[in-house]
Amino acid sequence: MVTVVGLAPPARGAASVACIMQANKTAADQAVSACRLGENPDVASAGGVFFGPNFDVMRASRFGRSVLMDADSLQAKVTRYAALVCAAGLAFAPRSAFSAPSPHCAAELRAARAHADASRKAKLSGCRLLDVDMTGVSLRGADLRGADLLEATLIGADLSAARLDGANLSSVKMAHARLVKATLRRATFLTTMESVTARQADFSGASGYLIAPDSDFTSAVFRHAHLASDLSNQPMGLLHTIFARATLAGADLSFADLSFADLNSADLRGANLSFANLRGADLSAANLTGADLRATRFAQANIDGAIFGRLNNPATIKALHAARNFDQAIFHR
């Protein structure tokens, strides 16, 4: 059984709808009845279509594959998609049917919100915390391994030293959150992290895409992270982000927008920076040995003391000449 989640655009006032795709084809007839337009207000508003701000396919969510449709084209396509979805054997249920936290998780959340014991570390491992509001909540040292935080609100929350390994952070709102020394190994991101402080955080093996303007990732680890995903039409936005001394060795940053990012002394050995935009970035003393620099843009980037491996691609060498302090960069022979 594969679960797919879709959210109706707020502007249309439609309710959220969850859809469970039945592998058993014998359920097709019942599914068609359940999906019939006009029979159910939730289903009618969604029309069997899962949509959002962009029309693409997200694979990172643990719920499976969500199809996102531009709201402007929704009306013209809703009937056709409804027929296709229903014919595939889909049955609808309100999102509330599966989104509520378990009693244990709900109790842990209440305790965290109450700030009753500042030394207490919330035990939320594996909890389903869809759409919960934890604005400003202290979750220092919390165990959130494998937790599902789809569309949760963590604005201003303190997650310092929290364990979020394997957590689903899709569509999480995290502006001004603190992730100092947090571990987010193999976590899934489809996330905006504006002005987040994530010094010494561990993002090893993380996947998805990350929009993190004005965030601080000083000494953070992104070893083998894949943060450009296959959403090449939605490049990772890291404008003005601080990656000073961060470990990004082996990270996939292809198509990333790293304009004006602070990558001073960053470890980028073996990183995939193909088609990345490093315009105006500070790469001074950064180590880019073995990095994939195909079609990478370096205009006005500072490469003073930056270390590069042997460069055989004339296009890459030409791009580096557009950077500042080219004569101070170190090239292996």
The mean pLDDT value for 36-64 works out to 31
Coil, strand or helix: which one is 38? coil
Amino acid 183: pLDDT? 98
Amino acid 117: pLDDT? 62
Report the C-alpha gap between 226 and 261 in whole angstroms. 18
Amino acid 6: pLDDT? 35
Query: Smallest Cα–Cα separation from 183: which of 201, 209, 197, 207?
Result: 201
Range scoring the smallest mean pLDDT among 24-28, 123-127, 150-154, 215-219:
24-28
Coil, strand or helix: which one is 25? helix
Report the C-alpha gap between 71 and 174 in whole angstroms. 25
Amino acid 333: pLDDT? 64
Report the C-alpha gap between 312 and 331 in whole angstroms. 11
Amino acid 37: pLDDT? 35
Range scoring the smallest mean pLDDT among 36-45, 117-126, 188-197:
36-45
Range scoring the smallest mean pLDDT among 39-53, 232-246, 294-308:
39-53
Helix (H) or strand (E) holding 170: strand 168-173
Q: Would you say residue 126 has pLDDT above 50? A: yes
Report the C-alpha gap between 266 and 227 in whole angstroms. 17
* Mean pLDDT for all residues in the chain: 73
Question: Is-above-0.85 flag for pTM?
Answer: no
Q: Would you say residue 11 has pLDDT above 80? A: no
**Which pLDDT band holds residue 71 (cuts at 50, 70, 90)?**
very low
Q: SS3 for 183-238, per residue?
A: ECCCCEEEEECCCCECCCCECCCCEEEEECCCCECCCCECCCCECCCCCCCCCCEC
Tokens coding 104: 């244990």
The larger pLDDT score, comparing residue 7 to residue 223, is at 223
